[in-house]
Structure 1
């Protein structure tokens, strides 16, 4: 199954069609930005930090929920100007260990199987992370492990989470299109490119807590 993220041309066409309604109903509407337009800011960030961030020429693989089968299936998407750096790859071979639920940021108590790799059956990631704007402003930070359903996160995360395993560290520099796009969030203005530094504790079964 192959899926492409909404192209800028599609977004532009939708904006034209909807513009008459938006003028009256949402006067503060801000249209999304083409990732190419944010490229200079992304490149300036890389130059200023010295990080070894790079893009990927081929499509990204990720897990997408298939309504017909009610399962997650492997899909692909193009994501130009999405930068990442694998600082530490972590454990990339299959395997798991028992760990305390509290150690992964869980909420059910007892022990849980912690897996090395991100697969269609281990879609929950236990992570610590920091997220910043390009000027260094921190908008979110988790120093203690937190358990997160990766397919429900921003595209930059679910497109890249399979790059590292348990104990790995991943840097992500994303155009706003693969973050929150033109939707403002607390501490994040609309159309903000974002930077994340993510440390992976491990992965947990998609059926966790069920």
Structure 2
């Protein structure tokens, strides 16, 4: 899904701002938001990929102006409405006003029928797939070539897992990319490591 949430590798945003030893929460409602979301996942109401996709579906203007935990609440509420656990009217009555939800879902897709397995040292190319639903492939590596340097345990294919369709487990590969290949003429020489699902890769 090529949405406003995928800002990795984009230029013009300046240096990344951060605070050493920053607090995880700044208000009591943020603790409650995080607790509700964690409880919902642990209770099996939805999975992490559904949760991420709920955030990705937010209206771009809402997404860009929302805090981290406001995005959490929006995704949580959207999914609970979609699953019939609550209604938008009930949420707005509780909030005493408008309660914006994320947009509608796309269909999703299952794993490719014959994924290619890789091992450390293999040279791979990231596929150039453009999908309307959830995808865990950063846009800035699409079509780029790198080298596998590690393999992580299998996990359900997120493009399917976020949509409630068959999601077979597959490994992710730690792929090393050269920054000058990712951003020709616009990056210092360095390496970037990205965890890439098997179905996003092909032999280079």
TM norm structure 2: 0.23
Q: Which has the higher helix share?
A: 2
Structure with bigger RCO (C-alpha 8 Å, 6+ apart): 1
Q: Which has the higher strand share?
A: 1
